[in-house]
Amino acid sequence: MKLLYKPLGIVFGVLAGLLGRRLFQGLWGLIDEQDPPTATTKPSTWKKVLAAAALEGLTFKVARAAVDRAGASGFERVTGVWPGEQPAQPE
């Protein structure tokens, strides 16, 4: 049954990436009116580049965790099987 979750996990990963990008752009818009700088954007300061990278990493990771958790919970509701790790069973 867990094998059925693999394709869903891929779809959830794509959705999480899209959600993370939207979330990052929205949050960055609150910080600065310009597009977020990349590491190779010459006129940007180190502070701005590192802040953008940190915010991007945070938003992507949080979006991924939220989408993965929601997907696993939904899968369990439908199938009765949790697709991820299980606690060790006492002997």
Q: What is the pLDDT of residue 77?
A: 96
As separate numbers, helices (DSSP H) first and strands (DSSP E) second, the chain gives 2, 0
pTM: 0.81
List pLDDT tens digits, range 20-36: 999 999 999 999 999 99
Average pLDDT, the chain: 92
Segment 60-85, tens digit of pLDDT: 999 999 999 999 999 999 999 999 88
pLDDT tens digits for range 32-48: 999 999 999 899 999 99
DSSP letters, 37-50, are P-TT-TTS-HHHHH
